[in-house]
Structure 1
Amino acid sequence: MSTQPPLLDQPLIPPSDALRRQAPVTPQEAERLKALPPTEYWAEMASELEWDERWTKILDGELGDFRYFVGAKGNVSVNCLDRHAEKTPDKVALHYEREDGLTETWTYQQLTTETARFAAVLEDMGVQKGDRVSLLLSNIPEAFIAIHACYRIGAVYSVIFAGFSAAAVRDRLEDARPKVVIVADGTLRRGKVVALKSVLTEARRGIDSIEHVIVINRLNSDVTQQPDEQGCNEHDWADLMARTRRLAAPVMLEANEPGFIIYTSGTTSKPKGLVHSGLGFLVGTYANVKWSLNLRPEDNYWCTADVGWLTSPIFALVGGMAHGVTQVLYEGSIDTPSPSRPYELVEKYGVNKIFTAPTALRMLRRAGQSALAGRDLSKVELISLVGEPLDPETWHWTADTFGAFVNNTYGQTETGTAWASAIVGATDTKAGSCGEALPGYRAEVVGEDGQPVAAGQLGVLTLTEPFPCLARTVWGSSERYHETYFSEFPGRYASADAAMLDEDGQLWVTGRIDDVMNVSGHRIGTMELEAALITHPAVSEAAVVAQSDELRGAVPVAFVVPRAGAWEGRQLSEELAEAIVAGVGKYARPAAVYVVPTLPRTRSGKIMRRLLRDLLEHGEVRGDMSSLENPDALEVVLGHIRM
């Protein structure tokens, strides 16, 4: 069994020599940037991008109601496409590959031209600045084209995750009220066709704002285009593009005008449509990618995120493209047709920098070292992560397997960036931590009274000053925006995440504040318990949730997926309970450890812990299940609970 030290005892890990040599700044310069007033820092970052008009004031207002780069005008697509196409038109922008082996290569010039052409298509349909365009797409090149076409003309886009049910898609269409919807006929997922057009057809019935549906035929489906009973016209993407010769000129937008709406999936059935400004988001993601990945023109980079989650706009669609890098775009499940597929792609495209999620790494680890056989991973220098707490065991496995520096980060859909991170090549990290707050952000961990807590103490993570990429409102409900994020601690943005800062200033985010439990007077987050479980050689994945207890206030309950061939049954449950006692303390002994073959998870692989809480407390799920990929797992887990 591993003997990794407890979370807060992890040593500082310096950047690798290779990353240190290519670092965007020196350690001294990094400290200077952190010390700058946020407004001065953001002005420096914004100055590295192209603007049609400069700002008259950097910041106006305060958290909850502010404007950044007041009066400045520019265009996101110009910064992500045109300026690179002008300098290096033949540089590869995208290496696209699909699960079944289909490949495409797109240069910056090709991508820019097709984006401008599709922007003209939208204009010819009557789409104007501020009109909404919804997209039900997977990881295909047309997603990049359609999104940047919206940026080009000032349309407010909203990407809907391709794994959603018709009911979940409908919720988002009803809220955004789009004029145009863009949909692929289908996508591939673990060898199966996932129909998207039929889902949209069911979801959009009765939504009279939709005037046009554009269908991208990626799987050669027999899709007919015809007006429906509401007069909505369906069009074939390829036909529209073939008939359109005009290239739309970019519209110069004010820095605070809305760029897109992205919906969160919460504990209720009504998703929140968070509104991000277009150019504010650009500045934030450009800086985020610079520090968390240090993407350079010579890099070959793979962001594994689905286009339907904000990780993709931050680190691929906008932040990645703003740096003019060559990217790998993969459609499908990365472990199909075999667990060796990710390693094959890394070798094939000479990938040296990767952005992914802890869940993906745990999936690779579970597959075993045989999947690596014969694969050359020597070019990989950096693996950066976001999405959920990262246990030290997985951090070290990743570093050893790839021979790369591992940079875990933290951010939220609301913040528009992974704002906690190492500055790659210039600052240290710890195995499992989220690094430090990047320049331009001011973070504090506070107690229930709103006052900062001491180092090493668990509290609520808050941000105390505005930054350009923070969501500006909830679509159609400013009251909900203020109530959700600014009412609990006035003057602060409340993340609803539990966290602690250690003596070295490293940030540890342990999960949602709902996952913090008070066990016999001890406050503890589930991350520490899960980290103790992952050290056991029989454990592949672990999720711990709190269950109410009359005597102790709350007790931890663990769900564990064993490694292939691991021993099963009561003996393993008892051993794992002892692993938590050994790693955390007797007070944290779980009330139960359920050894299960699967866990409910999103399509991106995150374990849905709130659904596990529902099953424990109510014997059924009462929250939003729109992000759930494997509904069958709920019955499996519930069966183990009832045994």
Structure 2
Amino acid sequence: MSGTDSLVQLIDSPLRLLPPEWTVPDRVTALKAARDLGDPDSYWEWVARQQRWSSPWHTVRTGDIEDFRYFEGGRINVADNCVDRWAEDPATAGRAAVVWEGEPGDTRTLTYAELAEEVSRLAAGLLALGVQKGDVVGIYMPNLVEAFTTIHACNRIGAIYTVLFSGFGEEAVASRLQAARASVVVVADASYRRGKPVPLLATLRAARGRAPSVRATVVVDRTGDGAPLQEGEHAYAKVLEAGNAGTPVVPLDPNEPSFLIFTSGTESKPKGVVHSVGGFLLGTWANAHWQAGYEPGDVYWVAADVGWLTFPIQAVVGGLACGMTIACFEGALDTPTTARFYEICERHRVTKVLAAPTLARMLRKFGDDLAAEHPLPALKLVTMQGEPLDGDTFEWTTTTFGVPVVNAYGQTETGSTWTYPVYGAEALKAGSVGTAVPGHTFEVVDDDGQPVPPGVKGNLVLTAPFPTLARTVWDDHERYRATYFSRFAGRYATHDEAVLDADGHLWVLGRADDVINVAAHRISTMEIEAVVTAHPAVVEAAVVGVPDDTKGTVPIAFVTLRADADPSSVPGEIGRHVVAEMGGYARLEAVYVTSAMPKTRTGKTMRRLLRDLVVHGQPTGDISAMEDPGALDVVAAVVRA
């Protein structure tokens, strides 16, 4: 294995067995029983039996990984399992389902009984607007209670929903509504972000001319402005009123489409990944069950945007299917002060947090003194996903909060995270994503598709189907097959590189297309990042490859530093450190110190935009998912300086 001494040392670090205070004996027993079921189909049958079915299935699975179906003959409803069954049980009807806080400080809590009533009324109201089973409903709003109610109103009647990131502009909204052939859009009039209202209804109105399939809009009055509605627009409150009688759940084939999620990138045509009704429900129940796990008194804060698939997985579907209390926050976690994260945890007695590693890096940047002022005694778990978790961030988070840090890995297409150390039951290793949870099988293979031994870097592939794996690309099944199954026959290509260590723990190193050739040496930019972030002054780093006339490609780094770091000396130290750790072929061509990075609202650094700024002087691809366009200006100024 070529590459980084720092990364090799991290991979070879010893397993950390859970101390007694972090161990949950019942979960240890349950996990062993699940693994003892053996084959994946037996496990998924066990998962299916934890749900409520309208009618039973006769076959667990048919087909192979490219064309599979689960639980043929059965009928199920997602809203019934996430909402109704808890509302009907006297022991759980009064349990808080959603605890919501807006950026301005307003709050709202819905019990399972209250959530069930509003979902049923909204579903009936959508039916009155002409929404039918199989119609697509666009949801264009931030983290609001109405995101929960709208998703489950669609689930209740068999409508297909697609969530549009509330940071999208006119073009991104129009292209996705057009691609989805959406018939109705539920939109907030605005959202609050960093103290300012962001107009959503106005953006939707501008986009509707290019989405002729949209025949009606339902408007959530988030700001209280009560602005006049235009033709074809209906107030959310009026739609609820029209549906006062409610409507029963519709039993659905578990393999029918449930929702679309559009990926963004450099391609001009949005790619709508399709997830299924029962597959997504079963897989996300299992995901939330093992990764976070309901315990009495839990308040589980999924600190992610509803437009990131993690939010439906862990909160709207998986979390509620487990009967959990979900905390939901609308705004930016540094607004109005850097203490906002801690204040939310304190105010709502949050016990478990899920976020991207970026959140932990941000909190670390805010300083240890701030963390010490807010000790968070109720907190029991921090779990992270979305980007590689470096060892330093793992150590800081573990030490600062005194709780286990679970690092998980999955993709939009896998519909859930599928490898991580199970909370309360399995050993941890800083930076690794643990072992595959029950029901999932994988290999690390070379470019010819042959498995590589432990310690050798290769391509990460999945070798068997599972319920949450995407079923197709909307209106383009050939694109689905070509993208994920053409390279390694009979296996799903994640397009990520990984290493399996001697303890059986998996390390995902990043996208295979982030591997660069420097003077005929192949190296992953993520490996270089592992060295750069190990420097004590670095809070965050992103490494990209750019063209070079002599070497073909050279790596450059963008870094954000601790407040007390010297920006004049640290870049040179970082450069020397990379050469010392990896060799001269990995020498950084440049180190740019920046106070901001272009990120999606989910916290993922948009590395391709960093490369664009250096190579082209401006972005060349899709920037619709970027949270703060001002960050790009900050980086551009640094590059031009």
2:526 maps to 1:527: yes
Match of 2:29 in 1: 26
Q: 1:527 to 1:295 in 2, by over 3 A?
A: farther
Q: CA deviation digits over 1:7-48, x for unaligned, max 9?
A: 312221223423423542338716x61771111111111111
CA contact (8 A) 1:546 1:554 kept: yes
Q: Is the CA contact (8 Å cut-off) linking 2:179 and 2:270 kept in structure 1? A: no
Distance in 1, Cα, partners of 2:328 & 2:270: 28
C-alpha spacing 1:486/1:5, structure 2 compared with 1 (3 Å): closer
Q: 1: CA distance between counterparts of 2:427 and 2:521?
A: 30
Find the residue that maps to 1:424 and give its secondary structure: coil
Equivalents in 2 of 1:334, 1:215: separation in Å? 26
> Residue in 2 aligned with 1:589?
587
Structure 2 residue aligned with 1:63 = 65
SS in structure 2 opposite 1:338? coil
Q: Which amino acid aligns with 2:463?
A: T
Q: 1:230 maps to what in 2?
A: none
Q: Write the distance in 2 (CA, Å) between the matches of 1:9 and 1:575.
A: 25
How does 1:453-468 map onto structure 2 within 5 Å?
A: 453-468=452-467
Paired letter, 1:12: L
Contact 1:27 1:427 in 2 (8 A): no
- The equivalent residue for 2:97 is 93
Distance 1:413 1:190, change over 3 A: same
> How big is the shift at 1:368?
0.7
Structure 2 counterpart of 1:629, one-letter code: E
Normalised TM-score (structure 2): 0.95
Moved more, 38-47 or 580-589: 580-589
Deviations, residues 561-611 of structure 1 (Å, cap 9, x unaligned) = 122232123x32110112223444443221221112222111222210111
Amino acid at match of 2:58: T
Deviation at 1:454, TM superposition (A): 2.0
Give yes or no for contact 2:128–2:242 (8 Å, CA) kept in 1: no
Give the 3-state SS of the residue equivalent to 1:275 in structure 2.
strand
Instruction: Tell me the distance in 2 between the aligned counterparts of 1:250 and 1:80.
Output: 12
Structure 1: how far apart are the matches of 2:242 and 2:107? 25
Q: Secondary structure at the match of 2:60?
A: strand
| Per-residue deviation, 1:519 | 3.7
CA contact (8 A) 2:613 2:619 kept: yes
Equivalences for 1:410-421 in 2 at 5 Å? 410-421=409-420
**TM-score with structure 1 length normalisation?**
0.95
Q: How many pairs does the alignment contain?
A: 635
Which whole-Å CA distance do the structure 2 matches of 1:453 and 1:547 have between them? 29
- CA positional deviation for 1:614: 2.3
Change (3 A) 1:237 1:201: same
* Cα distance change of structure 1 residues 51 and 18 upon mapping to structure 2, 3 Å threshold: farther
Q: Deviations over 1:604-639 (max 9, x none)?
A: 222101112223333332221111123333343334
Aligned to 1:380: 379
**Residue 112 of structure 2 is aligned to residue 108 of structure 1:** yes
Written as runs of structure 1 = structure 2, the 5 A alignment for 1:47-86 is 47-86=49-88
1:44 alignment counterpart: 46
Residue type of the partner of 1:407?
V
CA gap 1:191/1:639 in 2 versus in 1, 3 angstroms: closer
CA contact 1:23–1:424 (8 Å) conserved in 2: no
Where does residue 136 of structure 2 map in the other structure? 132
Structure 2: runs of 5 or more not aligned: 1-5
Partner of 1:515: 514
> What is the aligned counterpart of 1:161 among 156, 161, 165?
165
The question of 1:178 aligning with 2:176 is answered no
- Give 3-state SS (helix, strand or coil) of 1:6's partner: helix
| Matched-pair contact (CA < 8 Å) for 2:22–2:403 | no
The 3-state SS of whatever aligns with 2:55 is coil
Alignment-derived partner of residue 562 in structure 1: 561
* More off after superposition, 458-467 vs 114-123: 458-467
* DSSP-derived class of the 1:637 partner: helix
Contact 2:309-2:415 within 8 A present in 1 as well: yes
Structure 1 counterpart of 2:136, one-letter code: R
Q: CA separation in 2, counterparts of 1:414 and 1:152? A: 24
Distance 1:543 1:72 in 2: 47
Query: Any residues of structure 2 matched to 1:482-493 within 5 Å, and which?
Result: 482-493=481-492
Distance change in 2, residues 1:461/1:557 (3 Å) = same
The whole-number CA distance in structure 1 between the counterparts of 2:442 and 2:615 is: 34
- Measured in 2, the distance between the counterparts of 1:275 and 1:153 equals 18
Cα distance between partner residues in 2 of 1:562 and 1:19: 32
Q: Specify the alignment match of 2:3 in structure 1.
A: none
Report the alpha carbon displacement of residue 223 of structure 1 after superposing the two structures with TM: 2.2
Rounded to whole Å, the distance in 2 between the matches of 1:58 and 1:167 is: 42
Distance 1:503 1:548 in 2: 36
Structure 1 SS opposite 2:154: helix
Give the match's secondary structure for 2:268. Answer: coil
Quick one: distance in 2 between partners of 1:85 and 1:206?
Answer: 41
Mapping 1:365-514, distance limit 5 Å:
365-514=364-513
Whether contact under 8 Å (1:34, 1:439) holds in the other structure is no
Counterpart of 1:214 in 2: which secondary structure? Answer: strand
Aligned-partner SS, 2:81: helix
Deviation at 1:553, TM superposition (A): 4.7
Write the deviation string for residues 315-343 of structure 1: whole angstroms up to 9, x where unpaired.
00000001111121111012211111111
- Deviation for aligned residue 1:371: 2.1
2-side partners of 1:596 and 1:374: how far apart? 28
In structure 2, the residue corresponding to 1:204 is in which secondary structure?
A: helix
Conserved? CA contact 2:124–2:242, under 8 Å: no
Counterpart residue identity of residue 69, structure 1:
F
Aligned 8 A contact 1:76 1:152 in 2: yes
1:190 maps onto 2:191 in alignment = no
Task: Give CA deviations for 1:182-204 in whole Å, capped at 9, x if unaligned.
Answer: 00011111111111100100111
1:556 counterpart letter in structure 2 = P
1:133–1:155 CA contact under 8 A, matched in 2: yes
SS in 2 for 1:205: helix
Report if the CA contact (8 A) 1:519-1:587 is conserved.
yes
**Deviation at residue 469 of structure 1 after TM alignment:** 0.5
Question: In 2, Cα distance between the equivalents of 1:10 and 1:182?
Answer: 49
1:255 — aligned with what?
A: 254
1:298 corresponds to: 297
- Residue identity opposite 2:64 in structure 1: E
Unaligned 5+ segments in structure 1 are 228-232
Aligned twin of 1:634 = 632
> Greater shift after overlay, 606-615 or 270-279?
606-615
Q: Is the 8 A contact 1:458 1:523 kept in 2?
A: no
Residue 501 of structure 1, CA deviation? 1.2
Does structure 1 conserve the Cα–Cα contact (< 8 Å) formed by 2:24 and 2:425?
Answer: no
Q: % of aligned pairs identical?
A: 48
| Alpha carbons 2:79, 2:153 under 8 Å: kept | yes
How many Å separate the matches in 2 of 1:443 and 1:208?
43
**Match of residue 615 from structure 2:** 617
Change (3 A) 1:188 1:22: farther
- How far apart are residue 400 of structure 1 and its match? 0.8
| Residue 373 of structure 1: how far off its partner (Å) | 4.5
Structure 1: which amino acid aligns with 2:596? T
| 2:596 counterpart residue number | 598
- Partner of residue 10 from structure 2, selected from 4, 7, 12: 7
Deviation at 1:4, TM superposition (A): 9.4
Matched letter for residue 213 of structure 2: S
Alpha carbons of 1:553 and 1:6: their partners in 2 closer, same or farther (altered >3 Å)?
A: farther
